[in-house]
Amino acid sequence: MRKNIITVSREFGSGGRSVAKAVAERLGFDYYDQEIIMRVAEESGLAKDVVAEYDEYMSHKNSLLFTLSQSGGGSLYGALSFANMVQMAQTKVIKRLAEKGNCVIVGRASDYILRDREDCLHVFVYANKAFRADRIVNVYGETDKKIENRIKDMDKRRKLYYSSFTGREWGFCHNYHLSLDSSVLGIEGCADMIIKAVETAQ
């Protein structure tokens, strides 16, 4: 079946967002990334900065388990943490965007949310640590010297976000149809590979 929805999950610093943008431009597809935050805010009734805080990165303080432990486990309202409200609204928003077709959606566990649609190609972009550190400093412009710790922290939080949302393991091939190492294939190269996969997919 023709894949007219592409989800791109990516490691922080891998350049996955640039890959996704290039693919959308080349295919003439809509591109959904940070504007999802605004849509989720509208859907959930939460403030945009609250949604942004819970968007894709989980600290243990945001987890359902933490909220439950704080509420003594007795309050459903307490248990339904901001994180869960954001996840529920994200699910609705992403399913609605997918209905329109011809789009590239970045992150937000969209591979999981859209797992039952046969018109989706799910892609994961990752890279080795040296490539990521270089991009974080020279492309994203971050100046923190402890770049290794920054990568480690972001990986940990995104992993926790993904597993709490999906029950799946972050970075495991079976979550995706195609996984690409951007440190070997390059940013434009990864975009080429995804276009090729769209042409190839059955």
Q: Which residues bind its own copies (CB under 8 A)?
A: 121, 124, 126, 171-174, 176-181, 184-186, 189, 192-193, 196-197, 200-202
- Of 153, 121, 172, the closest CA to residue 2 belongs to 121
| Dist CA 19 CA 32 (whole Å) | 13
Compute the least distance from the CB of residue 175 to its own copies, in Å: 9
CA Rg value for the chain: 17
C-beta closer to its own copies: residue 92 or 177: 177
C-beta closer to its own copies: residue 99 or 169: 169
Compute the least distance from the CB of residue 75 to its own copies, in Å: 38
C-beta closer to its own copies: residue 92 or 115: 115
Under DSSP, is residue 148 helix (H, G, I), strand (E, B) or coil? helix
| Dist CA 164 CA 157 (whole Å) | 11
Under DSSP, is residue 149 helix (H, G, I), strand (E, B) or coil? helix
Q: Judge contact between 42 and 34, C-beta under 8 A.
A: no
C-beta closer to its own copies: residue 14 or 90: 14
C-beta closer to its own copies: residue 54 or 176: 176
Compute the least distance from the CB of residue 181 to its own copies, in Å: 4
Torsion of CA 83, 85, 87, 90, to 10 degrees: -130
Compute the least distance from the CB of residue 202 to its own copies, in Å: 5
Compute the least distance from the CB of residue 43 to its own copies, in Å: 30
